[in-house]
Amino acid sequence: MRPTGEELAARLADSDPARRLEFDDGFRERVWRVVAARRAQPAGRTRRWWRPQLRVVTLAVPLALVLAGGAGAAVSGLIRIGAPATPFHFASPQPLSLGPAPVERGAVHLLAVVAPDPQGGPPWGLRIVTTTRGYGCIEVGRVLDGSFGGLGEDGSFNDDGEFHAVPPVDAENAAACAPLDRSGRLFYNVASAVGTASGTFFVPGGCVSSRAFAPVLLRMLERHPADSDLCPPASNRTLIYGLLGPDAESIAYTLDGQRHVQATTGPQGAYLIVGSGARSADPELGDLPFAAGTLPVDTPITEVRYRGGVVCRLVGAGQNGRTPNCLPGGHPVGYAAPPTTAAGRRR
Amino acid sequence: MRSDPGPFEATFDAHWQAVSRYAARRVAPEAVQDVVSETFLVAWRRYDELNGEPLPWLLGIARRVAANQRRAGARRRALLERLHGAAASERRSDLVPGDRRLAAAWALLNERDREALMLVAWDGLDHRDAATVMGCSTSAFTVRVHRARRRLARLLGRDEKGAIEIPARAGSLT
């Protein structure tokens, strides 16, 4: 026999899980503290940006077109600048490399190199940070209005659609790092990873690609299970980047069967390739090789051109990257990073 | 003519309990504070858009924040399953234990039906305010809640004839 409306209402009311729930002043204070703290941070600036509003349309754009600057075909939209991401320190007792090292004061440099995202929006860029331990680290992320950070999408930042600046913290764990040489130069000719479209890596609330960072995720989950999240596979990005030094002029690479040429940028000879999806011979690991050597080997890069007509052709995997006739004669290869203080180094 | 909603903190003080209860009915206990905080943060950013009663507007924001939180939770569970090779436990709010028949019927309702019933029966909203929360017209909400109530009553009726297999554990709320 069906219950009457009144009976139903009474039964529902009796089953309300929050009926006898009391939220005390302590809860109120905790919530208000969070809201007040984030209100105090700079937020709410709005600027116009090229951003696709119909994702399916931009997905149909061939990658070659996108890499050649086709993101400009996206529909205009707005991206709000949200609060900066909360600084995050790795909590693992056994960090990836040598443990957290403070980022040296003033040693954070956003490079001029940018690359469009296959689905539009703010471009990708590179940032170099140097640590007090004498390491130089390259970070890759989204860039907007001169800020380096990530987007609130694919689970990041509660999908708020805003851009969030990301502070450089524990850079030696979170980025591609190498010791600076005695002259303070950073040699890092290729780094590659499967990232995520949001551009967030190891940021509380930001999603990450488990393929690329499964070991790190495991460590993070032990201490911060609520702070990490797996991004949907469609948001994977193949990121290949590096610093080829002041003598480099351009790279050529093949992606999806198309050959591309990219001029290197700045005195660092920086380059950045962003492709959609995860391109790796090892689908479980997801990462292409990291190499702090002389030449970007084992990547889609097929050629590096240096000043003076020197051309290094990198055909096939397993190049050792030290072929003498590939190096520009008489010039050091590598980026001259800002000098670290002698007192700050603990190497 | 737009009415002045007053200082944001006054709105917060007037409604944080209702928003907290709303969240507690829809997300896992450990996520309630995050949902409430995020709701008021979004509310603060968009405070100049408030035009009318604050509570339905706030609950509309909380509804979207809670939905994001549940999606994130689902992805996190999937990640844990992949990483640990086992099904991660799913923590969800449950109906108050006791009425197993209602719980079984409740579990068979779809998400929209449950939300419509919750807004009226638990959050105590009238149809106009509940429609604001769900982002539909009052008449559309009235039809929706009427149908939801009818479906629930039908399921309970079938249940009492033994047509529904009642699970050993009460069904989940969300």
Confidence (pLDDT) at A248: 84
The lowest-confidence range among A274-283, B47-56, B76-85 is: B76-85
**Which CATH number belongs to the domain containing residue B44 in this structure?**
1.10.1740.10
A335: part of which helix (H) or strand (E)? strand A335-336
User: Closest approach of chain A CAs to the CA of B6, in angstroms?
Assistant: 17
Residues B97 and B82 in one domain: no
pLDDT averaged over chain A?
Answer: 65
| Alpha carbon of A40: minimum distance to chain B alpha carbons (Å) | 11
Q: How many whole angstroms separate alpha carbon A239 and alpha carbon A241?
A: 6
Instruction: State the nearest Cα–Cα gap between B2 and chain A, in angstroms.
Output: 22
- Domain's final residue, options B89, B123, B158: B89
Q: Tell me the angle at which helices A25-40 and B8-24 cross, rounded to the nearest 10 degrees.
A: 120
Q: Hey, which of A8-22, A32-46, A53-67 has the most confident mean pLDDT?
A: A8-22
pLDDT given at position A106: 54
Q: Are B55 and B65 found together in one domain? A: yes
Residue-wise pLDDT for A94-110, tens only, equals 333 334 455 565 578 89
Choosing among B37, B61, B106, which should be mutated to test the A contact, i.e. which has the most A CBs within 10 A? Answer: B37
- B10 and B82 in a single domain? The answer is yes
Q: What residues of chain B lie within 8 A of the CB of A226, using their CB?
A: 30-31, 34, 76
Q: What is the CATH number of the domain that holds B173?
A: 1.10.10.10
Three-class SS of residue A286? coil
Using a CB-CB distance cutoff of 8 angstroms, which residues of chain A are in contact with residue B106? 15
All residues of chain B having their beta carbon less than 8 Å from the beta carbon of residue A34 are 33, 37, 41
Residues of A with Cβ-Cβ distance to B157 under 8 angstroms: 1-3
Q: What's the pLDDT score for residue A160?
A: 81
The more confidently predicted of residues A305 and A331 is: A305
Alpha helices for chain B (secondary structure H)? 8-24, 32-45, 54-84, 100-108, 111-121, 127-134, 138-160
* pLDDT higher at A333 or B139: B139
Mode of pairing for the β-strands spanning A135-144 and A124-131: antiparallel
CA distance A260 to A67: 8
Same domain, B79 and B141: no
Task: State whether B98 and A30 contact (CB < 8 Å).
Answer: no
Top pLDDT among A61 and A179 is at A179
Q: Nearest by CB to B33, from A17, A31, A159: name it.
A: A31
Higher-confidence position of A227 and A51: A227
Would you call B124 an interface residue with chain A, using a CB distance cutoff of 8 Å?
no
Domain boundary, last residue among B89, B107, B123 = B89
pLDDT of residue A317: 42
A33: closest chain B residue by CA = B37
* Whether pLDDT at A9 is above 60: yes
State the pLDDT at residue A324: 39
Note the pLDDT of residue B57: 93
Least confident of A126-130, A257-261, A281-285, B121-125: A281-285
CA-wise closest residue to A239 among A206, A204, A200 = A200
Same domain, B2 and B80: yes
Q: Closest partner residue to B16 among A5, A31, A231, by Cβ?
A: A31
Residue A281: pLDDT band (50, 70, 90) is very low
Predicted pLDDT of residue A30: 83
Q: Does B41 touch chain A (CB under 8 A)?
A: yes
ipTM of this complex prediction, to 2 decimal places: 0.76
* B160 and B107 part of one domain: yes
Model pLDDT, residue A169? 63
- Sorted by sequence, the CB contacts under 8 Å of residue A249 that are 6+ apart come out as A263, A264, A305, A306, A307
Burial class (CB in 10 A: 0-12, 13-18, 19+), A274: buried
Mutation target among B12, B45, B69, B147 for the A interface, most CBs of A within 10 A: B45
Query: Are residues B96 and A5, on separate chains, in Cβ contact within 8 Å?
Result: no
Residue B76 banded pLDDT, cuts 50, 70, 90: low
Alpha-carbon torsion, ordered A13, A18, A21, A26, to 10 deg: -150
Is B20 in Cβ contact with A27 (below 8 Å)? yes
Domain check: are B3 and B68 in the same one?
yes
Mean pLDDT calculated for residue range A328-343:
44
pLDDT value at A221 more than 80: no
Identify whether the C-beta of residue A189 lies closer than 8 Å to the C-beta of residue A327.
no
Give the lowest-confidence range in A138-152, A178-192, B107-121.
A178-192
* Minimal-distance CA residue of chain A relative to B17: A23
Residues B47 and B102 in one domain: no
Higher pLDDT, B19 or A35: B19
- Which residues, in sequence order, are CB contacts of A7 under 8 Å at separation 6+? none
Same-domain status, B29 and B83: yes
Q: How many domains are contained in chain B?
A: 2
- pLDDT confidence of residue B70: 72
* Residues B70 and B115 reside in one and the same domain: no
Q: Does A186 have pLDDT greater than 80?
A: no
* CB atoms B41 and A3 under 8 Å: no
B102 with A23: Cβ contact below 8 A: no
How far is the CA of A337 from the CAs of A111, A127, A160, A344, in angstroms?
11, 12, 35, 15
CB distance from B140 to chain A under 8 Å? no
Q: How far apart are CA B125 and CA B166, in angstroms?
A: 30
Residue A260 confidence (pLDDT): 92
Which structural domain, as residue segments, surrounds residue B49? 1-89
CB contact under 8 A, B72 and A155: yes
In A, minimum Cα distance to B79 occurs at A230
**What are the tens digits of pLDDT across the range A140-150?**
899 988 889 88
Q: Is the pLDDT of residue B89 over 50?
A: no
- Domain shared by B58 and B85, yes or no: yes
**Residues of chain B positioned with their CB less than 8 A from the CB of A86:** none
CB–CB of B157 and A12 under 8 A? Answer: no
**pLDDT tens readout for residues B29-43:** 777 888 898 899 888
Contact A212, A195 (CB under 8 A): yes
Give me the residue from A16, A30, A31 closest to B96, CB to CB: A16
Does A23 contact chain B (CB < 8 Å)? yes
The answer, for A11 touching chain B at a CB cutoff of 8 Å, is: yes
Lowest mean pLDDT among A171-180, A327-336, B60-69: A327-336
pLDDT over 80 (residue A131): no
Residues B84, B117, single domain; the answer is no
Q: What is the pLDDT of residue B22?
A: 92
Final residue of a domain: which of B73, B89, B105?
Answer: B89
How many beta carbons lie within 10 A of that of residue A91, not counting itself? 13
Write the residue in A9, A14, A35 that is nearest to B41 by C-beta: A35
Higher pLDDT pick, A271 / A106: A271
Is the model's pLDDT at A12 over the cut of 70? yes
Per-residue pLDDT at B129: 92
- Whether residue A261 contacts residue A250, with contact meaning beta carbons closer than 8 Å, is answered with yes
